[in-house]
Amino acid sequence: VSGSSNFQFSFYVVGFILALGVLCGRWICGFVCPFGLLQELLYKIPFPIRKRIWKPLTYLKYFLLVVFVLWMPVFVTGALGIGAPAYCEYICPVGMLEGGIPLLSTHEELFQTMGGITLLKSVILALTIVGCLVTERFFCKVLCPLGAIYGLCNKISFYRLSLQKSSCIHCKKCSVCCPMDIDPVKEQNSAECIRCKKCCSVCPTSALRFGYRRGTQEAASVATNLVQKTEERR
């Protein structure tokens, strides 16, 4: 119901998410998301198949964002006129791993209520785990609608990657180490960039740097402190 406190609260959540996106872009994915850390740990496990993601698959997260996060909750509503969080209900492997499985393991009576949706989400979770073993940050690249939102903010965010062209020796070390399969020299501030700074760490000439764009230092000073403290803890 549009006048309800829950409806108004959703606008605050959306506004907060967009504000973080404008300040930091997809840095949230690189340093804050707990499932991002789990993906990195999974990729460290030895596995016989290692492949880069097929690029058209990276657009799937935008489809999920539009259909399951934006369209279905608005137009597919229940008796009270309120839409369900379709992505969380039908797809989200993170929710299944961090919520569904622990709940089922501690409440045996819930096994009797398991149905097709639980089976579907279990299959999606299994495929996601395999995907994370094959390609680095599989969930970030393919399935995360929040990452899609932050990715769109990368182009306008204050926190940006810059290239000093005169220092670049085109050694390709940055593109080889990138967990998101980006060539930072050609695709600075790509929607796929999670601001992990690995490209900056391996650059032998320090041609790549992250920082806030000119004219936004004062407005972004609080965010800068947050970024530095979080990266130090990581």
Which of 1.20.120, 3.30.450, 3.90.320, 3.30.70 is the CATH number of 157-233?
Answer: 3.30.70
Indicate if the pLDDT at residue 215 is higher than 60.
no
Which of 12-16, 20-24, 138-142 tops mean pLDDT? 138-142
- pTM summary value: 0.81
Domains of the chain: which residue ranges?
5-150, 157-233
* Residue 213: predicted pLDDT: 75
Q: What is the pLDDT of residues 101-155, one digit of tens each?
A: 888 878 777 777 777 888 899 999 999 999 999 999 999 999 999 999 999 999 8
DSSP string, 40-89: HHHHTS--S---PPPGGGGGHHHHHIIIIIIIHHHHSB-TTS-B--HHHH
Banded pLDDT at 206 (limits 50, 70, 90): very high
* Residue 83: predicted pLDDT: 67
